[in-house]
A and B are shown apart, each in its own frame.
Chain A
Amino acid sequence: MDKIISILSNIRPEFDFTTSKDFISDGFIDSFDLVTFVAALDKEFGIKIKGTEIVPENFCNLKAIAALLKKHGAEV
């Protein structure tokens, strides 16, 4: 989980991602940040997140992101 938080904080250092329950509606990440975040996750975890999976519900909080990564066999 620390790795996910680290990647998110690298993209938007001004926010505390451990406190938000919905990164999208809280305005922590916009659609461009999401693209940057997905590219970073692909690289850091050695996975390929599908284009159809890049939807807000898979990235709204740490739990959702961890679930997506686990689906791709990543150790979170």
Chain B
Amino acid sequence: MKFKYRNKKITGVLSVVPKNFKTFDEEMENYQADKARTKRLKLVMGYDRHHMVEDGVTVSDMSVFGMNYLFDNGLLKKEDISALVLVTESPDYFLPPTSNVVQGRLELSTDVLCIDINQGCCGYIVGLMEAFALLEQEDMKKIVLINADILSRKASKEDRNSYPLAGDAISVTIVENSSDESLIQGEIKMDGTRHEVLMIPAGGFKMPSTPETAVVREDSYGNRRSLDNLVMQGREVFHFVQTEVPPLIEGLFERIGVLKSDIDWYLFHQPNKFMVEKLAEELDVPYEKMPSNIVTNFGNPSGVTIPLNISFNISKRLLDETFKVCFAGFGVGLTWGAIVMNIGNVDFNELIEF
């Protein structure tokens, strides 16, 4: 799907990460592979530390914390919120939607539309599309886009494929109408035939969790996990990203008449450092324009990596400057998409701890 919007802007970004973190070195004993191999992998993939919630903390807990930070610091008023779009794959419940839970806990107006979207690593692209579309309605003020995931609780500690990169975080992005005529353009693709490449097999209605699904088994590479855990077919995911993402971005640039050198920042989803660097090489983009340090400092919090990238790497510069950016997300679904837009002169761009 190709899409474009006009007269819309991002006016604030807040990223929230748990204080609690573990280092890769601390966890090396969990994995079956020998230490020398695992250490080399650490350097190449950029694993160092990953921030994870304590037991019992939910997406709504972190979302309410972030929203209250904005209210308490005068960065957002409750009466200015028209809709709450929450993108997560780790909801508090099957039902009701977590966005409704957040609305209730914050005592927001009943006029506030609440929408949950089940999306992962491409969740920032999908969430922005939803927010921009909602702003087409009359009398809309601010759309609150929350990206939130705490998938560390679903990754097996003995799975070298997924656990080292598992990270938890939420972000709040404020999207509103603007007099700026600049176009926001993008493209997104999905391929459900490959939905098993990244999944949590058990726990839904297809395969309810049982004592049997909780049994931990070892795969041929020595990784140990159960059917209740996140499973990622690493080689397939890597190949998917390298074959699908660059052509989508190059096709988008050609269609909208943007040169690679026109883009100030390539803010991509970050599963690991190696994958991001190979994307930069394929697109012939300097590494410094495509940061790959989120997984090193925080882990991979799914759809939050792009806003966390904004908060961590551009930080206060975004208060006074405007940049042309290319956002790109890719992962579960399978889903991959990109947006080219201007972002800058925002009201806030902060990173805080929960």
CB within 8 Å of B: which residues of A? Answer: 11-12, 30-33, 35-36, 39, 48, 50-52, 54-55
Contact = CB atoms under 8 A, between A and B. Distances in A.
A51 B242 contact: yes
Nearest to A53: B242
Contact of B241 (A31, A33, A51, A55): A51
B234 interface: yes
Given A11-B37, A32-B160, A35-B274, A51 B44 contact: no
28 contacts: A11-B37, A11-B40, A12-B37, A30-B221, A31-B235, A32-B33, A32-B41, A32-B234, A35-B41, A35-B45, A35-B274, A36-B37, A36-B40, A50-B281, A51-B238, A51-B242, A51-B275, A51-B278, A51-B279, A51-B281, A51-B282, A52-B239, A52-B242, A52-B243, A54-B238, A54-B239, A54-B242, A55-B239
Interface of B: 33, 37, 40-41, 43-45, 160, 221, 234-235, 238-239, 241-243, 274-275, 278-279, 281-282
A23 to B, nearest CB: 14
B270 to A, nearest CB: 15
A48 B281 contact: yes
B228 to A, nearest CB: 23
Given A32-B221, A50-B278, A51-B241, 5 more contacts: A31-B234, A35-B41, A50-B282, A51-B279, A51-B282
B176 to A, nearest CB: 37
A50 B282 CA distance: 6
Q: Give the residue among B33, B40, B275 with the most A Cβ atoms within 10 A.
A: B40
Contact of A35 (B44, B279, B282): B44
Contacts of B221: 30-32
Contacts of A52: 239, 242-243, 282
Contacts of A55: 239
Main secondary structure of the interface of B (DSSP, over half): helix
A29 to B, nearest CB: 10
A51 to B, nearest CB: 3
Contacts of B37: 11-12, 32-33, 36
Contacts of A36: 37, 40-41, 44
B236 to A, nearest CB: 9
Contacts of B239: 52, 54-55
Contacts of B243: 51-52
Q: Give the 3 A-B residue pairs with the shortest CB-CB distance, closest first.
A: A51-B242, A51-B278, A39-B44
A10 to B, nearest CB: 9
A54 B242 CA distance: 9
A54 B44 CA distance: 15
B317 to A, nearest CB: 30
Contacts of B278: 50-51, 54
B32 to A, nearest CB: 11
A51 B239 CA distance: 7
A2 to B, nearest CB: 20
A3 to B, nearest CB: 17
Contacts of B238: 31, 35, 51, 54
A31 B43 CA distance: 15
A36 B33 CA distance: 14
